[in-house]
Amino acid sequence: MARRIAAGAAYGGGSVGLLGAAAVGVVLAEVQLAKRLVGGGTAPVPPSADGRYGVAFAGPADPLRLGMLGDSTAAGQGVRRAGQTPGALVASGLAAVSERPVDLRNVAQPGARSDDLERQVSLLLSDPSGAPDICVIMVGANDVTHRMPATQSVRCLTTAVRRLRTAGAEVVVGTCPDLGTIEPVYQPLRWLARRVSRQLAAAQTIGSVEQGGRTVSLGDLLGPEFEANPRELFGPDNYHPSAEGYATAAMALLPTVCAVLGLWPESDHLDGARREDMLPVAKAASQAAREAGTEVTAARAPWALLKHRRRRRLPAATEPHPHPHPGERGGSTRADRPPGTDTGTSSRTARAD
């Protein structure tokens, strides 16, 4: 199904349905109930995390430039402090690994679907200082909940990846999360939501990898871990991740972000103990959609590498510093906060190296 969706997106095919028509009537009542229950709390407006991270590493080298695109999860909706957003967490971790400052510009929009990526990419590429070095895209959940045709969703994403790659930016896509883990959603809608989410995530992987991007599956991060700890990993509206949830996602994304920039040693050796493999891209995409934090990157066509990178320690959450020249690269105007003074969130480690 994922291959059919990706092919339809690439060759201009019509909509490929993810579910049979008979299933629609079965879940209508569940959909209405979920709409009343999900979002019963209030998700705060996501804080602006634009600015410079890792100012202690300032030196002769230019800062790395990181762009965040996507929906509310990329924007960090559900938390109140800039340092708790996924963009800030990835920027802080990237600065620590590269030992260079990182300038973050986040153009993600809460409620955005994949068709908003064209606008977001144009915003990033219109910057007079040039394209970012690395872009992270997190999108897909609203495509599912708003019933955007899957082929259109994947077409919009692959176009965005292609534009960014053509401009010289590396791209990492955090694929569609598993919507079957949202706590107020009951069966059979929970099963159907999981199925649709995973099919879209696999199709996103195929399209992104074929355009030169890398993907990291987020579905299972919003799966077993979120399902087992809903009070800890979901935010106050029972839909968006909490600070701990965003930290979990950032830890999965950071190793791939570092690897694509050449900051992580790359090896052709595949670790069988970690279930790494070289597979046809469609099979790699399907397997990645079922397992948290799985990276898929292009190899010799039509093959792709399936990797499970070790998750790395995140530095303590920090607030962004304004860019040296306010107004350039979307610089934040918030007051300076020295690195390390935000002690509200401790360092986290998913696995020991």
Contact 46, 282 (CB under 8 A): no
Selecting among 48, 50, 71, 72, the annotated active-site residue is 72
**325 has catalytic annotation:** no
30 by Cβ neighbours in 10 Å (0-12 / 13-18 / 19+) ranks as middle
Task: Tell how strand 214-216 and strand 170-174 pair up.
Answer: parallel
Find out whether the peptide bond into 241 is cis, omega within 30 degrees of 0.
no
Q: What does the block give as tokens for 272?
A: 């069988």
Show the beta-strand stretches assigned E in the chain: 51-53, 64-70, 102-106, 134-138, 170-174, 214-216, 277-280, 295-298, 303-307
Active site residue 237: yes
Catalytic residue from among 240, 308, 321, 323: 240
Burial code (b: 16+ CB inside 10 Å, e: under 16) for 50-67 equals bbbbbbebeeeeebbbbb
Active-site annotation holder among 15, 127, 237, 277:
237
Amino acid at 144: V
Q: Is 240 a catalytic residue?
A: yes
Residues involved in catalysis: 72, 237, 240
